[in-house]
């Protein structure tokens, strides 16, 4: 559930290498900057089977995700959300880190990454071995109570959902981004949504919904890392939401070289030092052994 805030005019697209040049250009960029601030988005996880939200022009491929206001204000929205989540969670939980995640973990192990800030909520960077990770939008494998703040594993809630809604596991649904699932023509009115076992409060995935703000502590931690970095690399994000774009703008204002590896336009195209329009896995696969030459 990536957050959504104000829309801004999209900058005109920057030039980018073609043919065999993209990988070489990326290698050179990484080799020339010893402390990278890396920001990743949905494009980093698509090869793990988790769909993204946006097309090459930065537009929505599907209906926008549920908003925080609708989730907290409408019982029908919560029933629909948790019913779809019940169907989508098993396949989301089964996703595994791909070579793009592992390449970034290797860069960190080589001492090249100051911090990795991810807009994704799948935990695949940590699964690949990265440790300097800020989960900007939270983690879907945790559930939070909006009443008492208690956090429980999402896998545990799955068993509760199944027990209270027998037969729902038989619904066949297409995988959607962030653990959601497309259930068409289904009546959600009878779906039983559990409350917090500790206080009876409302349960919500421990992620930042659209219309909700990223916790300030996360933003400030990321900003501190950015100030200690000498370049920023965006991987698999269009930066269409403010929560991620703000770091690209800060980097540009600070005079830091800014590169983006993304299929399609980004909100920061006019700010980029380097634009590489290529698949994340293919472009990152050849970095190891080249990024530590300087």
Catalytic residue numbers read 137
Give the alpha-carbon dihedral of 110, 219, 118, 43, to 10 degrees: -130
DSSP state of 273: S
Nearest in space to 222 (alpha carbons), one of 199, 238, 190, 244: 244
Match 């293919």 to its residue by tokens. Answer: 282
* Residue position matching structure tokens 């809604």: 165
Alpha-carbon distance of 34 to 31, in angstroms, equals 7
Backbone angles phi, psi at 60, to 5 degrees: -75, 135
3-state secondary structure of 67: strand
Handedness of CA 29, 32, 36, 37 (dihedral sign): negative
Q: How far apart are CA 122 and CA 106, in angstroms?
A: 19
Length of the chain: 294
With contact defined as beta carbons under 8 Å apart, do 39 and 119 qualify? yes
Rg (CA), the chain: 20
Pairing type for strands 113-118 and 151-153 reads unpaired
């Amino acid at each position: 559930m990536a957050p959504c805030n104000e829309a801004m005019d999209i900058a005109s697209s920057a030039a980018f290498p073609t043919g065999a040049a993209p990988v070489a250009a990326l290698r050179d960029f990484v080799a020339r900057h010893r402390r990278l601030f890396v920001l990743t988005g949905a494009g980093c996880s698509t090869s793990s089977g988790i769909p993204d939200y946006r097309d090459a022009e930065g537009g929505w491929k599907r209906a926008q995700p549920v908003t925080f206001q609708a989730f907290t204000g409408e019982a029908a929205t919560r029933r629909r959300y948790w019913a779809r989540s019940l169907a989508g969670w098993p396949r989301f939980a089964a996703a595994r880190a791909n070579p793009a995640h592992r390449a970034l973990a290797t860069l960190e192990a080589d001492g090249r990454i100051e911090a990795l800030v991810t807009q994704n909520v799948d935990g695949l960077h940590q699964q690949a071995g990265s440790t300097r990770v800020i989960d900007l939008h939270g983690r879907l494998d945790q559930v939070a109570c909006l009443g008492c703040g208690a956090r429980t594993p999402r896998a545990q809630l799955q068993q509760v959902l199944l027990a209270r809604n027998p037969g729902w596991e038989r619904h066949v649904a297409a995988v959607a981004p962030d653990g959601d699932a497309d259930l068409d023509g289904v009546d959600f009115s009878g779906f039983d949504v559990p409350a917090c076992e500790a206080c009876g409060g409302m349960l919500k995935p421990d992620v930042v919904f659209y219309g909700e703000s990223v916790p300030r502590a996360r933003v400030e931690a990321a900003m501190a890392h950015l100030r200690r970095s000498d370049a920023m690399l965006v991987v698999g994000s269009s930066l269409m939401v403010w929560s991620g774009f703000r770091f690209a703008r800060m980097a540009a204002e600070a005079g830091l070289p800014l590169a983006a590896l993304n299929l399609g336009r980004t909100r920061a195209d006019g700010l980029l030092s380097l634009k590489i329009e290529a698949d994340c896995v293919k472009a990152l696969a050849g970095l190891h052994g080249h990024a530590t030459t300087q």
